Amino acid sequence: MEAVPREITTPFRPIPLEIPEGMKPNEFFNSTENLADLVHNNGLLVNPENLLLYRKALGHSNEFDASIIYNTSKVILDPLGRPVRRTQVPAPVRHVWNRMNGIIIAYMLETYPDPADALVLAGEASLDATWPLTAPGVPSIRMLHNHFMVFPMRNLRSAVHADPGNPNLTDGGQHSLFQAYMRDVYREFFTRALELRILRPVADDAARLNLTGYPQGLPSWEIQGGADALKDARFWREYDAILKGFLDFYRTFFSQVSTRNAPLPEGVYFPQQVEEVLLFNNDFLKTAKKVRDRCITDAKYANAIRWQPAFKQLIYRNDDGRLIVTISQNSIGNAITELLGVVVNRRPDADAYAASEPALIEKLLAVRQRLIEADLGDGIATDYWPAE
């Protein structure tokens, strides 16, 4: 079977909220009012750390689809002041969040044990866009949240082929700035900066899904020990270290784009490696000059750049059943599914959604019960399910 990205259509029940006149959807979705509706209509579990597990109202998959959001909507009213990546989360919250992640991923792997039957993934995309909230591609809920989803492989095999030129499929050598011009220094920096014991670098072929041919050209690591490693606090420290390395690379590169011969960005995590590996690498600095020169003459190009770190990081199961971690720049605002070559079109269709809803909710309530038993929160009652 030809390795090509796939495009699927997922029905959803239209959200019953009316957007106030004069507001853009992006503005309203960041409001406390919208988050309250999310809790009451889709909330599954909440805990004192303000972590909310909820059903995705506009989901990617109706097989299994849930998110955890760090719901700071009532304590931080400024949408631009909310935590948007794990490195900004207080350590006690991150500790609880990591335990929740491990339990949910373990449930998905247990429920869908065969990689030939189901694509299992979990991860998050950066919400740290510097565009106006009303600009295309800016996240609809500007708070840190991650995704857990499963796609039946039979659906992906029968799906139409996605257009390889789709601008959202930017995560590989043919589109990505990092991969096209700085692949070697990008990987060298990760190797020099990170001290990893659980995560082991893997070659592109081991990370790539045979069906879609994605991810393409991204640094990837195998989780040695598989699902059991997710119970180890060290794994989550290493997972965060990959993000920190990415943030250093991204911030250093775009500081050089912005200002020729700029000093190290303030607060970098690996200053010695930034100075020795990045700021003495001709390909790195040559590419920064290329982008800077274009920004000076191309206003549209300059306006499209995310000057602050924008990333996608995820854990997924490959064709051999191994768990893989990968990370990519998020240049347009695309979904983490597209990192794996899966393009999702959401279609409003209440009847079609209702057909798959009972089985979906059954699984969501089952994983909620595991979280409750692990003292990770209390159940929420909605019109669709009880609190216990």
250/265 same-domain check: yes
3 belongs to a structural domain: yes
127: containing domain: 1-169+334-388
Instruction: Tell me the pLDDT band of 172, cut-offs 50, 70 and 90.
Output: very low
218 belongs to a structural domain: no
Per-residue pLDDT tens digits for 137-146: 565 667 888 9
- Helix (H) or strand (E) holding 29, with range, is helix 25-29
The sign one gets for the Cα dihedral 365, 367, 369, 375 is: negative
Instruction: Tell me the pLDDT band of 174, cut-offs 50, 70 and 90.
Output: very low
219 belongs to a structural domain: no
278/385 same-domain check: no
Tokens of 265: 């960005």
32 belongs to a structural domain: yes
314/262 same-domain check: yes
The sign one gets for the Cα dihedral 194, 200, 203, 208 is: negative
**Mean pLDDT of all residues belonging to the chain:** 89
Q: Calculate mean pLDDT across residues 355-365.
A: 97
Count of domains for the chain: 2
Per-residue pLDDT tens digits for 25-60: 767 776 777 778 788 889 999 999 999 999 988 889
Residue 360's pLDDT is: 97
Residue 173's pLDDT is: 45
Per-residue pLDDT tens digits for 180-235: 788 889 999 999 999 999 999 999 899 999 999 999 888 899 999 999 999 999 99
Per-residue pLDDT at 175 exceeds 60: no
Q: Calculate mean pLDDT across residues 255-273.
A: 96
Residue 35's pLDDT is: 78
192/281 same-domain check: yes
88/186 same-domain check: no
239/354 same-domain check: no
87 belongs to a structural domain: yes
**What is the C-alpha end-to-end distance of the chain, expressed in Å?**
45
Cα–Cα nearest to 180, from 220, 137, 218: 218
Instruction: Tell me the pLDDT band of 136, cut-offs 50, 70 and 90.
Output: low
66/139 same-domain check: yes
∠383-364-316 over CA atoms, to 5°?
A: 145
217 belongs to a structural domain: no
CA–CA dist 332, 353 (Å, integer): 28
Residues in the chain, overall count: 388
Tokens of 146: 């991650």
Instruction: Tell me the pLDDT band of 257, cut-offs 50, 70 and 90.
Output: very high
Is residue 241 within 8 Å of 198, Cβ to Cβ?
Answer: no
The sign one gets for the Cα dihedral 246, 180, 331, 328 is: negative
Given 331, 354, 370, the domain boundary residue is 331
130 belongs to a structural domain: yes
Per-residue pLDDT at 371 exceeds 90: yes
50/181 same-domain check: no
164/181 same-domain check: no
Which residues does 128 contact at the CB level (< 8 Å), separation at least 6? 84, 85, 306, 308, 309, 310
298/181 same-domain check: yes
Using a 10 angstrom Cβ sphere, with 0-12 exposed, 13-18 middle and 19 or more buried, the burial of residue 53 is: buried
Residue 112's pLDDT is: 98
Per-residue pLDDT tens digits for 71-101: 888 888 887 788 888 899 999 999 999 999 9
355/317 same-domain check: no
19 belongs to a structural domain: yes
Residue 371 backbone phi and psi in degrees, to 5: -70, -40
Cα–Cα nearest to 124, from 109, 145, 100: 145
CA–CA dist 129, 229 (Å, integer): 32
Q: From start to end of 33-111, where are the E strands?
A: 43-46, 51-55, 64-70
268/286 same-domain check: yes
Residue 249's pLDDT is: 95
